[in-house]
Amino acid sequence: MGDALTNEDWFARARRVIPGGVDSPVRSFAAVGGTPYTVVRGEGPYVWDAEGRRYVDLVQSYGAVILGHGHRAVTAALSEAIVAGTTFGAPTPGEVLLAEALTAAVAGCEQVRLVSSGTEAAMSALRVARGYTGRDRIVKFDGCYHGHADALLAGGGSGLSTLGLPGSAGVPAAAVAHTLVVPYNVVPELDDQVACVVVEPVAANMGLVPPAPGFLQGLRRACDEAGALLVFDEVITGFRVGSGGASAAYDVTPDLWCFGKVIGGGLPMGAFGGRRDVLAVLAPTGPVYQAGTLSGNPLATAAGRAVLEHLAPGDYLALAERAARFALRLADAIGGAGLPVRVPVLGPLVGLFLSEHEVTDYASARVAVSEGRYPAFFSAMLERGVALAPGPYEVLFPGLAHSDEVLDTVVDVAAEAAAAAASALTGRGRP
Protein backbone atom coordinates (compact mmCIF):
# COMPACT_ATOMS: atom_id res chain seq x y z
CA MET A 1 0.00 0.00 0.00
CA GLY A 2 2.65 2.50 1.10
CA ASP A 3 4.92 1.44 -1.73
CA ALA A 4 2.73 3.06 -4.33
CA LEU A 5 2.79 6.50 -2.72
CA THR A 6 5.33 9.13 -3.74
CA ASN A 7 7.12 11.49 -1.38
CA GLU A 8 4.71 14.18 -2.53
CA ASP A 9 1.71 11.93 -1.73
CA TRP A 10 2.97 11.20 1.75
CA PHE A 11 3.76 14.83 2.45
CA ALA A 12 0.31 15.92 1.24
CA ARG A 13 -1.31 13.37 3.56
CA ALA A 14 0.99 14.41 6.38
CA ARG A 15 0.08 18.08 5.98
CA ARG A 16 -3.59 17.26 6.46
CA VAL A 17 -3.10 15.62 9.84
CA ILE A 18 0.23 16.93 11.16
CA PRO A 19 0.94 20.68 11.37
CA GLY A 20 3.23 21.54 8.47
CA GLY A 21 3.43 17.84 7.72
CA VAL A 22 6.25 17.23 10.19
CA ASP A 23 6.88 16.42 13.84
CA SER A 24 9.95 18.67 13.99
CA PRO A 25 10.14 21.83 11.85
CA VAL A 26 13.54 21.42 10.12
CA ARG A 27 12.28 18.24 8.43
CA SER A 28 9.78 20.25 6.39
CA PHE A 29 12.48 21.55 3.98
CA ALA A 30 11.22 25.09 4.76
CA ALA A 31 14.85 26.28 4.84
CA VAL A 32 15.86 24.69 1.53
CA GLY A 33 12.68 24.41 -0.53
CA GLY A 34 11.17 21.36 -2.16
CA THR A 35 9.38 18.30 -0.82
CA PRO A 36 10.90 16.24 1.98
CA TYR A 37 11.74 12.64 1.17
CA THR A 38 9.74 10.23 3.31
CA VAL A 39 12.06 7.58 4.72
CA VAL A 40 10.82 4.01 4.69
CA ARG A 41 14.05 2.23 5.62
CA GLY A 42 17.67 2.73 6.62
CA GLU A 43 20.72 0.53 6.58
CA GLY A 44 24.22 1.58 7.59
CA PRO A 45 25.03 4.93 5.91
CA TYR A 46 21.96 4.81 3.63
CA VAL A 47 18.27 5.62 3.77
CA TRP A 48 15.62 4.77 1.16
CA ASP A 49 12.63 6.97 0.46
CA ALA A 50 9.04 6.08 -0.41
CA GLU A 51 9.92 6.07 -4.11
CA GLY A 52 12.72 3.56 -3.67
CA ARG A 53 15.54 6.10 -4.06
CA ARG A 54 18.65 5.52 -1.98
CA TYR A 55 20.58 8.36 -0.32
CA VAL A 56 23.86 8.48 1.54
CA ASP A 57 22.47 9.81 4.81
CA LEU A 58 24.60 12.40 6.57
CA VAL A 59 21.73 13.41 8.84
CA GLN A 60 21.77 10.22 10.92
CA SER A 61 18.84 11.51 12.96
CA TYR A 62 20.79 14.71 13.75
CA GLY A 63 23.41 12.71 15.56
CA ALA A 64 21.25 10.20 17.40
CA VAL A 65 22.75 7.44 15.25
CA ILE A 66 26.48 6.73 15.33
CA LEU A 67 26.79 3.07 14.32
CA GLY A 68 24.67 3.49 11.19
CA HIS A 69 21.03 2.59 10.66
CA GLY A 70 19.73 -0.81 11.69
CA HIS A 71 22.99 -1.91 13.31
CA ARG A 72 22.93 -5.55 14.46
CA ALA A 73 24.13 -4.66 17.96
CA VAL A 74 21.09 -2.42 18.43
CA THR A 75 18.46 -4.55 16.71
CA ALA A 76 19.59 -7.66 18.61
CA ALA A 77 19.44 -5.85 21.97
CA LEU A 78 16.01 -4.48 21.11
CA SER A 79 14.66 -7.87 20.02
CA GLU A 80 15.78 -9.34 23.29
CA ALA A 81 14.39 -6.49 25.40
CA ILE A 82 11.05 -6.17 23.67
CA VAL A 83 9.76 -9.63 24.55
CA ALA A 84 10.24 -8.85 28.25
CA GLY A 85 7.84 -5.90 28.12
CA THR A 86 8.20 -2.31 27.05
CA THR A 87 7.57 -0.20 30.17
CA PHE A 88 6.73 -0.86 33.79
CA GLY A 89 6.89 2.30 35.91
CA ALA A 90 9.19 0.48 38.31
CA PRO A 91 12.98 0.31 38.61
CA THR A 92 14.66 -1.92 36.01
CA PRO A 93 18.17 -3.36 35.67
CA GLY A 94 18.57 -1.69 32.28
CA GLU A 95 18.46 1.84 33.71
CA VAL A 96 21.01 0.95 36.37
CA LEU A 97 23.36 -0.57 33.81
CA LEU A 98 23.07 2.45 31.51
CA ALA A 99 23.59 4.89 34.40
CA GLU A 100 26.67 2.88 35.41
CA ALA A 101 28.01 3.03 31.86
CA LEU A 102 27.45 6.79 31.60
CA THR A 103 29.00 7.64 34.95
CA ALA A 104 31.94 5.29 34.37
CA ALA A 105 32.75 6.93 31.04
CA VAL A 106 32.39 10.60 31.99
CA ALA A 107 34.84 11.71 34.66
CA GLY A 108 33.19 13.82 37.36
CA CYS A 109 29.67 12.81 36.40
CA GLU A 110 28.79 10.84 39.52
CA GLN A 111 25.09 10.29 38.97
CA VAL A 112 22.61 10.61 36.15
CA ARG A 113 18.87 10.65 35.87
CA LEU A 114 17.37 9.34 32.65
CA VAL A 115 14.68 11.22 30.74
CA SER A 116 13.21 10.87 27.26
CA SER A 117 14.76 13.71 25.24
CA GLY A 118 17.54 16.26 25.18
CA THR A 119 14.97 18.98 25.77
CA GLU A 120 13.91 17.34 29.01
CA ALA A 121 17.53 16.87 30.06
CA ALA A 122 18.35 20.57 29.61
CA MET A 123 15.11 21.74 31.19
CA SER A 124 15.70 19.52 34.21
CA ALA A 125 19.36 20.50 34.56
CA LEU A 126 18.29 24.14 34.76
CA ARG A 127 15.78 23.39 37.47
CA VAL A 128 18.41 21.51 39.44
CA ALA A 129 20.87 24.39 39.08
CA ARG A 130 18.26 26.88 40.24
CA GLY A 131 17.16 24.64 43.08
CA TYR A 132 20.71 24.00 44.21
CA THR A 133 21.89 27.62 44.10
CA GLY A 134 18.62 29.28 45.10
CA ARG A 135 19.20 31.71 42.21
CA ASP A 136 17.02 32.37 39.15
CA ARG A 137 19.25 33.75 36.44
CA ILE A 138 20.67 31.57 33.71
CA VAL A 139 23.22 32.48 31.09
CA LYS A 140 23.09 30.93 27.63
CA PHE A 141 24.99 31.59 24.44
CA ASP A 142 23.45 32.99 21.29
CA GLY A 143 23.17 30.24 18.67
CA CYS A 144 23.50 27.35 21.13
CA TYR A 145 20.47 25.08 21.11
CA HIS A 146 19.29 23.28 24.22
CA GLY A 147 15.92 21.99 23.10
CA HIS A 148 12.63 23.83 23.30
CA ALA A 149 12.00 24.49 26.99
CA ASP A 150 10.58 28.02 27.41
CA ALA A 151 13.47 29.46 29.40
CA LEU A 152 15.98 28.29 26.81
CA LEU A 153 14.07 29.52 23.78
CA ALA A 154 15.56 32.96 24.04
CA GLY A 155 17.29 34.92 21.34
CA GLY A 156 20.03 37.47 21.74
CA GLY A 157 20.07 40.88 20.14
CA SER A 158 22.71 41.64 17.52
CA GLY A 159 25.69 40.11 19.27
CA LEU A 160 25.31 42.21 22.40
CA SER A 161 24.66 40.74 25.80
CA THR A 162 20.97 41.13 26.30
CA LEU A 163 18.35 39.85 28.63
CA GLY A 164 16.53 37.30 26.56
CA LEU A 165 13.77 38.08 24.16
CA PRO A 166 11.33 35.23 23.60
CA GLY A 167 12.74 33.09 20.78
CA SER A 168 9.29 31.82 19.83
CA ALA A 169 5.71 32.95 19.91
CA GLY A 170 4.01 31.35 22.87
CA VAL A 171 6.97 31.93 25.18
CA PRO A 172 5.96 34.64 27.64
CA ALA A 173 8.49 37.40 28.27
CA ALA A 174 8.36 36.33 31.91
CA ALA A 175 9.65 32.85 30.99
CA VAL A 176 12.88 34.29 29.61
CA ALA A 177 13.12 37.26 31.97
CA HIS A 178 15.88 35.45 33.88
CA THR A 179 17.71 34.24 30.79
CA LEU A 180 20.76 36.25 29.77
CA VAL A 181 21.87 35.60 26.19
CA VAL A 182 25.52 36.34 25.42
CA PRO A 183 27.81 35.75 22.40
CA TYR A 184 29.53 32.38 22.08
CA ASN A 185 33.28 32.20 22.61
CA VAL A 186 33.40 35.21 24.94
CA VAL A 187 33.53 34.56 28.68
CA PRO A 188 30.74 36.66 30.19
CA GLU A 189 30.90 38.54 33.45
CA LEU A 190 28.78 36.81 36.05
CA ASP A 191 27.30 38.15 39.23
CA ASP A 192 25.88 36.48 42.32
CA GLN A 193 22.43 36.18 40.75
CA VAL A 194 23.51 33.60 38.22
CA ALA A 195 22.40 30.03 38.91
CA CYS A 196 24.17 28.51 35.95
CA VAL A 197 25.87 28.99 32.64
CA VAL A 198 24.68 26.49 30.05
CA VAL A 199 26.77 25.90 26.96
CA GLU A 200 27.34 23.53 24.09
CA PRO A 201 31.05 22.92 24.73
CA VAL A 202 31.39 22.47 20.98
CA ALA A 203 28.60 24.42 19.30
CA ALA A 204 26.91 22.24 16.70
CA ASN A 205 23.56 23.94 16.17
CA MET A 206 24.86 27.07 14.42
CA GLY A 207 26.89 25.03 12.02
CA LEU A 208 30.02 23.73 13.71
CA VAL A 209 31.73 26.32 15.91
CA PRO A 210 34.51 24.94 18.12
CA PRO A 211 35.27 26.67 21.41
CA ALA A 212 38.04 29.26 21.21
CA PRO A 213 41.18 28.36 23.18
CA GLY A 214 40.55 29.11 26.84
CA PHE A 215 36.80 29.70 26.44
CA LEU A 216 35.62 26.63 28.35
CA GLN A 217 38.34 27.03 30.99
CA GLY A 218 37.29 30.67 31.34
CA LEU A 219 33.68 29.65 31.89
CA ARG A 220 34.76 27.22 34.60
CA ARG A 221 36.71 29.97 36.37
CA ALA A 222 33.93 32.56 36.02
CA CYS A 223 31.36 30.13 37.41
CA ASP A 224 33.58 29.25 40.36
CA GLU A 225 34.13 32.91 41.18
CA ALA A 226 30.41 33.70 40.99
CA GLY A 227 29.23 30.56 42.78
CA ALA A 228 27.31 29.53 39.67
CA LEU A 229 27.08 26.05 38.20
CA LEU A 230 28.53 25.21 34.80
CA VAL A 231 26.26 23.06 32.64
CA PHE A 232 27.66 21.32 29.57
CA ASP A 233 24.98 20.41 27.08
CA GLU A 234 26.63 17.36 25.55
CA VAL A 235 23.51 16.12 23.78
CA ILE A 236 25.54 16.10 20.55
CA THR A 237 29.12 15.83 21.81
CA GLY A 238 28.48 13.14 24.43
CA PHE A 239 29.77 9.75 23.25
CA ARG A 240 30.50 11.29 19.85
CA VAL A 241 33.69 13.32 20.27
CA GLY A 242 34.89 10.52 22.55
CA SER A 243 33.55 8.35 25.35
CA GLY A 244 34.29 11.12 27.86
CA GLY A 245 32.58 13.72 25.69
CA ALA A 246 33.78 17.30 25.37
CA SER A 247 34.47 17.59 29.10
CA ALA A 248 37.22 14.98 28.75
CA ALA A 249 38.39 16.27 25.38
CA TYR A 250 38.93 19.78 26.79
CA ASP A 251 39.71 18.72 30.33
CA VAL A 252 37.07 21.01 31.80
CA THR A 253 34.68 19.48 34.31
CA PRO A 254 31.23 21.05 34.55
CA ASP A 255 28.89 20.64 37.51
CA LEU A 256 26.06 19.28 35.38
CA TRP A 257 25.86 17.50 32.02
CA CYS A 258 23.02 17.00 29.56
CA PHE A 259 23.06 13.98 27.30
CA GLY A 260 20.80 12.68 24.56
CA LYS A 261 21.04 11.50 20.96
CA VAL A 262 23.82 8.81 20.90
CA ILE A 263 23.00 7.48 24.38
CA GLY A 264 19.55 6.35 23.26
CA GLY A 265 20.75 4.25 20.35
CA GLY A 266 18.03 5.80 18.17
CA LEU A 267 15.25 5.58 20.75
CA PRO A 268 13.82 8.51 22.72
CA MET A 269 16.33 9.13 25.48
CA GLY A 270 18.09 11.87 27.38
CA ALA A 271 19.94 12.14 30.66
CA PHE A 272 21.18 14.82 32.99
CA GLY A 273 23.82 14.22 35.55
CA GLY A 274 26.62 15.64 37.58
CA ARG A 275 27.98 15.91 41.07
CA ARG A 276 26.27 13.78 43.69
CA ASP A 277 25.80 16.70 46.11
CA VAL A 278 24.18 18.81 43.38
CA LEU A 279 21.80 16.05 42.29
CA ALA A 280 20.81 15.45 45.90
CA VAL A 281 18.37 18.37 45.49
CA LEU A 282 16.20 16.17 43.27
CA ALA A 283 13.06 14.51 44.60
CA PRO A 284 12.73 12.11 46.35
CA THR A 285 15.82 13.10 48.37
CA GLY A 286 15.44 16.85 47.86
CA PRO A 287 12.92 19.57 47.03
CA VAL A 288 13.35 19.81 43.23
CA TYR A 289 10.59 17.94 41.43
CA GLN A 290 11.28 16.07 38.21
CA ALA A 291 9.65 12.90 36.89
CA GLY A 292 8.70 10.85 33.82
CA THR A 293 6.34 7.96 33.06
CA LEU A 294 8.67 6.57 30.39
CA SER A 295 11.97 7.71 31.95
CA GLY A 296 14.55 4.93 31.89
CA ASN A 297 12.43 3.07 29.36
CA PRO A 298 13.65 -0.54 28.99
CA LEU A 299 13.84 -0.43 25.19
CA ALA A 300 15.70 2.86 25.13
CA THR A 301 18.16 1.75 27.80
CA ALA A 302 18.77 -1.52 25.94
CA ALA A 303 19.46 0.29 22.68
CA GLY A 304 21.65 2.89 24.39
CA ARG A 305 23.68 0.28 26.24
CA ALA A 306 24.17 -1.71 23.06
CA VAL A 307 25.66 1.34 21.34
CA LEU A 308 27.91 2.31 24.23
CA GLU A 309 29.14 -1.26 24.62
CA HIS A 310 29.83 -1.51 20.92
CA LEU A 311 31.87 1.71 20.73
CA ALA A 312 35.56 1.06 21.34
CA PRO A 313 38.11 3.83 22.01
CA GLY A 314 39.65 3.07 18.61
CA ASP A 315 36.31 3.77 16.95
CA TYR A 316 36.40 7.41 18.03
CA LEU A 317 39.92 7.80 16.67
CA ALA A 318 39.00 6.13 13.40
CA LEU A 319 35.91 8.30 13.09
CA ALA A 320 37.89 11.49 13.75
CA GLU A 321 40.53 10.52 11.17
CA ARG A 322 37.89 9.71 8.60
CA ALA A 323 36.06 12.98 9.28
CA ALA A 324 39.27 15.01 8.99
CA ARG A 325 40.13 13.49 5.62
CA PHE A 326 36.54 13.88 4.44
CA ALA A 327 36.40 17.54 5.50
CA LEU A 328 39.57 18.40 3.57
CA ARG A 329 38.44 16.63 0.44
CA LEU A 330 34.93 18.08 0.67
CA ALA A 331 36.31 21.61 0.95
CA ASP A 332 38.57 20.99 -2.06
CA ALA A 333 35.73 19.58 -4.13
CA ILE A 334 33.31 22.40 -3.38
CA GLY A 335 35.91 25.16 -3.57
CA GLY A 336 37.34 23.68 -6.77
CA ALA A 337 33.92 23.95 -8.36
CA GLY A 338 33.77 27.66 -7.63
CA LEU A 339 31.72 27.91 -4.45
CA PRO A 340 33.18 29.69 -1.43
CA VAL A 341 33.38 27.16 1.38
CA ARG A 342 34.59 26.47 4.89
CA VAL A 343 34.45 22.98 6.33
CA PRO A 344 35.29 23.13 10.03
CA VAL A 345 35.92 19.76 11.63
CA LEU A 346 36.22 18.67 15.23
CA GLY A 347 36.66 15.00 15.98
CA PRO A 348 33.84 13.31 14.08
CA LEU A 349 31.80 16.50 13.65
CA VAL A 350 31.92 18.23 10.27
CA GLY A 351 30.47 21.67 9.58
CA LEU A 352 29.68 23.23 6.21
CA PHE A 353 29.50 26.95 5.54
CA LEU A 354 29.21 27.96 1.89
CA SER A 355 31.03 31.19 2.54
CA GLU A 356 34.54 32.48 3.07
CA HIS A 357 33.42 34.36 6.15
CA GLU A 358 35.10 33.18 9.33
CA VAL A 359 32.60 31.82 11.84
CA THR A 360 33.26 32.06 15.57
CA ASP A 361 29.78 32.74 16.95
CA TYR A 362 26.17 33.03 15.90
CA ALA A 363 26.48 36.55 14.49
CA SER A 364 29.22 35.43 12.10
CA ALA A 365 27.37 32.19 11.34
CA ARG A 366 24.35 34.23 10.32
CA VAL A 367 26.49 36.36 8.02
CA ALA A 368 27.91 33.23 6.35
CA VAL A 369 24.46 31.67 5.99
CA SER A 370 22.89 34.90 4.72
CA GLU A 371 25.03 34.59 1.59
CA GLY A 372 22.33 32.11 0.66
CA ARG A 373 24.14 29.31 -1.17
CA TYR A 374 23.06 26.36 0.93
CA PRO A 375 19.61 25.60 -0.56
CA ALA A 376 20.98 25.27 -4.12
CA PHE A 377 23.82 23.04 -2.98
CA PHE A 378 21.54 20.97 -0.75
CA SER A 379 19.12 20.32 -3.61
CA ALA A 380 21.91 19.46 -6.03
CA MET A 381 23.30 16.94 -3.53
CA LEU A 382 19.88 15.42 -2.87
CA GLU A 383 19.19 15.00 -6.59
CA ARG A 384 22.46 13.09 -6.81
CA GLY A 385 21.67 10.80 -3.89
CA VAL A 386 23.31 12.48 -0.89
CA ALA A 387 21.11 13.67 1.97
CA LEU A 388 22.51 16.59 3.95
CA ALA A 389 20.43 18.15 6.71
CA PRO A 390 17.75 20.42 5.22
CA GLY A 391 19.03 23.51 6.99
CA PRO A 392 22.25 25.56 6.83
CA TYR A 393 22.87 25.53 10.60
CA GLU A 394 23.15 21.76 11.01
CA VAL A 395 26.34 19.72 11.00
CA LEU A 396 27.13 16.54 9.09
CA PHE A 397 27.22 13.31 11.04
CA PRO A 398 29.49 10.80 9.33
CA GLY A 399 29.37 7.72 11.55
CA LEU A 400 31.02 4.35 11.78
CA ALA A 401 28.99 3.06 8.84
CA HIS A 402 30.36 5.77 6.53
CA SER A 403 33.45 4.08 5.14
CA ASP A 404 36.12 6.05 3.28
CA GLU A 405 34.60 4.65 0.07
CA VAL A 406 31.16 6.01 0.92
CA LEU A 407 32.63 9.38 1.88
CA ASP A 408 34.69 9.46 -1.33
CA THR A 409 31.44 9.06 -3.24
CA VAL A 410 30.00 11.99 -1.33
CA VAL A 411 33.06 14.08 -2.28
CA ASP A 412 32.66 13.19 -5.97
CA VAL A 413 28.98 14.07 -5.83
CA ALA A 414 29.79 17.31 -3.99
CA ALA A 415 32.11 18.44 -6.81
CA GLU A 416 29.30 18.00 -9.35
CA ALA A 417 26.65 19.46 -7.07
CA ALA A 418 28.80 22.50 -6.29
CA ALA A 419 29.36 23.15 -9.98
CA ALA A 420 25.63 22.85 -10.64
CA ALA A 421 24.81 25.10 -7.69
CA ALA A 422 27.44 27.65 -8.72
CA SER A 423 26.00 27.98 -12.21
CA ALA A 424 22.43 28.14 -10.91
CA LEU A 425 23.43 30.86 -8.42
CA THR A 426 25.37 32.81 -11.07
CA GLY A 427 22.28 32.67 -13.27
CA ARG A 428 20.48 34.42 -10.45
CA GLY A 429 23.29 36.94 -10.18
CA ARG A 430 24.57 35.57 -6.89
CA PRO A 431 27.68 33.42 -7.40
191: how many CB neighbours lie within 10 A of its CB?
11
Q: How many CB atoms lie within 10 A of CB 378?
A: 26
- The nearest distance, CB 122 to ligand PLP, in angstroms, is 5
Shortest Å distance, C-beta 212 to ligand PLP: 18
Residue with nearest beta carbon to ligand PLP: 118
Nearer to ligand PLP, 308 or 380 (CB): 308
Whether 265 and 297 have beta carbons less than 8 Å apart is answered as no
Between 235 and 417, name the residue whose CB sits nearer to ligand PLP.
235
Q: Of these residues, 261, 316, 361, 362, which one is catalytic?
A: 261
- The H or E element spanning position 15 is helix 7-17
Q: Which residues of 353-376 are buried (b: 16+ CB within 10 A; e: fewer)?
A: bbbebebbbbbbbbebbebebbbb
CB of 259 to ligand PLP, least distance (A): 9
Minimum CB–partner distance for residue 404 and ligand PLP (Å): 27
Strands (E), 104-207: 111-115, 137-141, 154-157, 160-166, 179-182, 194-199
- Cβ nearer to ligand PLP, comparing 119 with 379: 119
CA atoms within 13 A on the CB side of 241: 27
233 is catalytic: yes
Residues that bind ligand PLP (CB under 6 A): 117-119, 122, 145-147, 200, 205, 233, 235-236, 260, 270
- Nearer to ligand PLP by C-beta: 398 or 421? 398
Per annotation, catalytic residue among 233, 361, 362, 374: 233
Q: Which of 55, 62, 145, 316 is catalytic?
A: 145
CA distance 417 to 408: 14
Nearest distance in Å: CB 149, ligand PLP: 9
Nearer to ligand PLP, 147 or 210 (CB): 147
**Choice between 66 and 339, CB closer to ligand PLP:** 66
The answer to whether 359 and 346 are in contact (CB under 8 A) is: no
Residue 91: CB atoms within 10 Å: 9
Radius of gyration of the chain (CA): 21
Nearest Cα residue to 60 out of 331, 312, 406:
406
One-letter amino acid at 380 equals A
For helices 404-427 and 374-383, give the axis angle rounded to 10 degrees: 130
CB of 232 to ligand PLP, least distance (A): 10
Catalytic residue check, 316? no
Q: Is 136 known to be catalytic?
A: no
| DSSP element (H, E) containing 270 | strand 270-274
Active site residues per annotation:
145, 233, 261
